C-alpha cells in the first residue's frame, strides 16, 4: 500500500529505486542477567538459522559474480555456525552465567578469535576474522538489526535515522540514489555529501521501518518520499526525471569554456573533495582546480593515525591526476561533527566551538608536522597550496609559519625535494573577518568558509534542525563580512575565494562578482551550473 511522507529537501532531483535502511554499527554489547535460560538458547538457535539463510543468499550471488572459488568464504561461514565447540561455548555461557544471548555470542566470538590468532598455522589465523564476522552477524540478528543495505548490489535509496561523517565512508557511493533521514539539518554532513554526489536528499522524514526493501521514490524538489508508489505516480516521476537529465545534458556543453562574464570578468571555479576517489568527478565536471581538499577524511573511518607515507600517496595521486591544476589542501579539521576515537578527544558541551582543527594541530604539533611533511613531499608532483582552518589570530598564523619553516628545513637537510607552496587561511570566524587586514599581510590567500562563518556570526548551531528556520546565510551581516574580507584581502595582496556552501548559491553569484571575488569552490557536480550562471551575467547591467 502506498505511503507518502514529507520532509525538508536539502538537494533537488528525482530518485526511483528500492528503499534500504542503514543501521548504525552497534557499540559494545551489554551484559544482562536473564532468568529464562531455555528461551535465550532458543533465540541463538533461531539466529543461527537466519544467519545461514543470509549466508546462502550471499554465496549464491557471489557465485554468479566472482565465481565459485571466491564465493567459498560464505560456505565456510555457514560451516562455522555449525561448529559444535562454538555452539557449546555460547550455550554453556548462557546456562552457567545466566547471561543474555547477545553477550554470550560476543564473548565466545572474542575468545575463539583470540585462540585462532595465537596459532602458528596461517590458515587458522585467518579464521579469527571469520569467527568475529559470524559472531557479529548473529548479534545483529539477535538485536533485530540486520543490515539490508549490505545485502544488495543494486542501486538503492538510503534511509537512515541520521548519518555521521565516518559512517558515510562505509557507503559504496556509486550505489546510493538518494538520502532520506529522520534527523539532520540543511547544513549537516549528509546534506553536504548529497550536494557533492548530485543526488536528492530529504531530512526530517518520519518514515516507517517497514519501508525497508520496498519500491520508493524521492522527489527532492517537493520534499516528498513515497513508498510502494502507484504506476501512475511512477510514470509521472519518470518523466520529471528525464526532464532533469535533459537539463544536465545541456550544461555538459559548457565543458571546456571559460568561466567569464559577458563583460569580461573572470572567476576561478574550483571543486571541493573529501578524498582521492572524488577526483574523477572533479575532472568529469571540468573544474579549474580543487579549492578544498578536506584532508580530515583521510583520518576518519580508521583506528589509527594515517602515516606520512599514506598521506603522501593520497596527495601525490590527486596532484598527478589534476595535471598542474591548483589543489588546495586544508589541513586536518577534526573535531565538532568529525570525530575519530583514536584522537581521544574529550567530550565537549559545545564541540563546534571547542578543541578542533588548527587548535589540535598547534597543541599536538607531531600530528601537524606529519601532515605538512607529506604535503611538501607531494608538492613536486603538481600545483599545491595549503590552507589552515579555524584561524582567530595573527599569532596562530605566525606559529604555523614557524612550524612550516622547520618542516622545510628538515626536508632540505634530509635531501628531500619540494616546491614553494602557497599559504592561505580559512576565514570562518568573526574574529578572522575583523582582523583580515592584518592577516592579509601574513598569507597568500583567503578562503571564506561560509558554513562555519554563518553559524558563529548568527550564534546558530548549523547541525540543529530546530534552528533551520532562522539559519540565514543571506543575512546582511554575512554578506557585509564577505565584502570586508575581499576588500582587506586585495589591499594586502591576497586573492580571495569562497569554499563554503554559499559559493554555489546561484542567487548570489552576481553579487560576489561585483564584490570582486576571485574564486569559488563548490561540489564537483555544481561547477557547470555556476559556470553557466557566470557566463550569463553582465556586470554592466545594474539591477534596480
Residues serving a catalytic function are 189, 499
Exposure letters 411-424 (e unless 16+ CB within 10 A, then b) = beeeeeebeebebb
452 is in an annotated binding site: yes
Instruction: Say if CB 220 and CB 15 are below 8 A apart.
Output: yes
Q: In this structure, are residues 310 and 335 in contact, taking their beta carbons and an 8 Å threshold?
A: no
Whether residue 78 contacts residue 105, with contact meaning beta carbons closer than 8 Å, is answered with: no
C-alpha span between 491 and 489 (Å, rounded): 5
Compute the chain's Rg from CA coordinates.
26
**Overall residue count recorded for the chain in this entry:** 544
- Find the angle CA(119)-CA(122)-CA(128) to the nearest 5 degrees: 65
Answer yes or no: is 462 a known binding residue: yes
- Report d(CA 274, CA 51) in Å as an integer: 35
Here the cell at position 80 is 562455522
What distance lies between CA 278 and its chain's CA centroid? 11
Cα dihedral sign, 350-356-362-367: positive
Q: Is 451 annotated as a binding residue?
A: yes
Q: Distance (Å, rounded) from C-alpha 276 to C-alpha 288?
A: 17
Helix (H), strand (E) at residue 487: helix 476-491
Q: Rounded to whole angstroms, how far apart are CA atoms 71 and 68?
A: 5
Task: Tell me the HSE value of 451 on the side-chain side, using a 13 A CA sphere.
Answer: 18
The x, y and z cell numbers of residue 267, run together, are: 572567476
Report d(CA 336, CA 356) in Å as an integer: 7
Residue matched to cell numbers 557585509: 480
Contact 402, 441 (CB under 8 A): no
Question: DSSP string spanning 248-276?
Answer: HHHHHTTTT---B-TTS-B-EEEEEESSG
In the block, residue with C-alpha cell 555449525: 82
Looking at the DSSP bridge assignments, the partners of residue 293 are: 273, 329
Q: Which of 524, 453, 521 is nearest to 483 (CA)?
A: 453
Residue 532 assigned ligand-binding role: no
Do the annotations mark residue 302 as ligand-binding?
Answer: no
- In the chain, count H helices and then E strands: 19, 16
Q: Euclidean distance between the first and final Cα of the chain, in Å? A: 52
Q: What are 167's three cell numbers?
A: 559512517
Contact 14, 241 (CB under 8 A): yes
303 among annotated binding-site residues = no
Distance CA 192, CA 199 (A): 11
Compute the distance between CA of residue 173 and CA of residue 179 in angstroms, rounded to an integer: 11
- In the annotated binding site, the residues are 294, 330, 428, 451-452, 462
Name the binding residues for Mg(2+).
Answer: 428, 452
Pick out the residues of the known binding site for phosphoenolpyruvate: 294, 330, 451-452, 462
Amino acid at each position: 500500500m502506498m505511503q507518502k511522507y514529507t520532509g525538508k529537501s536539502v538537494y533537488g532531483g528525482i530518485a526511483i529505486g528500492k528503499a534500504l535502511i542503514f543501521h548504525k554499527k552497534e557499540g559494545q554489547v551489554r551484559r544482562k542477567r536473564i532468568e529464562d535460560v531455555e528461551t535465550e538458547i532458543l533465540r541463538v538457535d533461531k539466529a543461527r538459522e537466519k544467519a545461514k539463510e543470509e549466508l546462502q543468499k550471499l554465496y549464491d550471488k557471489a557465485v554468479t559474480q566472482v565465481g565459485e572459488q571466491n564465493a567459498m568464504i560464505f560456505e565456510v561461514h555457514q560451516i562455522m555456525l555449525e561448529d559444535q565447540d562454538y555452539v557449546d561455548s555460547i550455550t554453556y555461557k548462557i546456562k552457567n552465567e545466566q547471561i543474555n544471548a547477545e553477550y554470550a555470542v560476543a564473548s565466545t566470538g572474542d575468545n575463539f578469535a583470540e585462540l585462532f590468532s595465537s596459532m602458528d598455522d596461517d590458515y587458522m589465523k585467518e579464521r579469527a576474522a571469520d569467527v568475529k564476522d559470524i559472531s557479529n552477524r548473529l548479534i545483529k540478528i539477535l538485536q533485530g538489526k540486520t543490515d539490508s543495505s549490505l545485502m544488495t548490489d543494486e542501486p538503492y535509496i538510503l534511509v537512515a535515522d541520521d548519518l555521521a561523517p565516518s559512517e558515510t565512508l562505509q557507503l559504496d557511493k556509486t550505489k546510493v540514489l538518494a538520502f532520506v533521514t529522520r534527523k539532520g539539518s540543511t547544513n549537516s554532513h549528509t546534506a553536504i555529501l548529497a550536494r557533492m554526489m548530485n543526488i536528492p536528499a530529504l531530512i526530517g522524514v518520519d518514515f516507517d521501518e517497514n519501508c525497508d526493501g520496498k519500491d520508493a521514490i524521492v522527489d527532492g524538489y517537493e520534499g516528498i518520499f513515497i513508498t510502494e508508489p502507484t504506476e501512475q505516480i511512477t510514470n509521472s516521476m519518470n518523466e520529471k526525471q528525464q526532464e532533469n537529465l535533459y537539463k544536465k545534458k545541456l550544461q555538459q556543453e559548457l565543458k571546456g569554456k571559460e568561466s567569464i562574464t559577458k563583460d569580461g570578468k573572470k572567476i576561478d571555479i574550483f571543486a571541493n573533495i573529501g578524498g582521492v576517489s572524488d577526483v574523477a568527478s572533479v575532472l568529469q565536471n571540468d573544474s579549474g582546480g580543487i579549492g578544498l581538499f578536506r584532508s580530515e577524511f583521510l583520518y576518519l573511518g580508521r583506528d589509527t593515525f594515517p602515516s606520512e607515507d599514506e598521506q603522501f600517496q593520497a596527495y601525490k595521486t590527486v596532484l598527478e591526476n589534476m595535471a598542474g591544476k591548483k589543489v588546495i589542501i586544508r589541513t586536518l579539521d577534526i573535531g565538532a561533527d568529525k570525530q575519530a576515537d583514536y584522537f581521544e578527544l574529550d567530550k565537549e558541551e559545545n564541540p563546534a566551538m571547542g578543541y578542533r582543527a588548527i587548535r589540535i594541530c598547534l597543541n599536538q604539533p607531531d600530528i601537524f608536522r606529519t601532515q605538512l611533511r607529506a604535503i611538501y613531499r607531494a608538492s613536486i608532483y603538481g600545483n599545491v597550496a595549503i590552507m589552515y582552518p579555524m584561524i582567530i589570530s595573527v599569532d596562530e598564523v605566525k606559529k604555523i609559519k614557524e612550524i612550516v619553516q622547520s618542516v622545510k628545513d628538515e626536508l632540505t637537510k634530509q635531501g628531500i625535494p619540494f616546491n614553494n607552496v602557497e599559504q592561505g587561511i580559512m576565514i570562518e570566524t568573526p574574529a578572522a573577518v575583523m582582523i583580515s587586514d592584518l592577516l592579509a599581510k601574513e598569507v597568500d590567500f583567503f578562503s571564506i568558509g561560509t558554513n562555519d562563518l554563518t553559524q558563529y556570526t548568527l550564534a546558530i548551531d548549523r547541525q540543529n534542525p530546530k534552528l533551520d528556520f532562522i539559519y540565514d546565510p543571506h543575512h546582511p551581516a554575512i554578506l557585509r563580512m564577505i565584502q570586508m574580507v575581499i576588500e582587506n584581502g586585495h589591499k594586502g595582496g591576497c586573492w580571495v575565494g569562497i569554499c563554503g556552501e554559499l559559493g554555489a548559491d546561484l542567487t548570489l553569484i552576481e553579487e560576489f562578482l561585483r564584490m570582486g571575488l576571485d574564486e569559488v569552490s563548490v561540489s564537483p557536480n555544481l561547477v557547470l551550473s555556476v559556470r553557466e550562471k557566470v557566463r550569463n551575467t553582465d556586470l554592466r547591467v545594474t539591477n534596480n
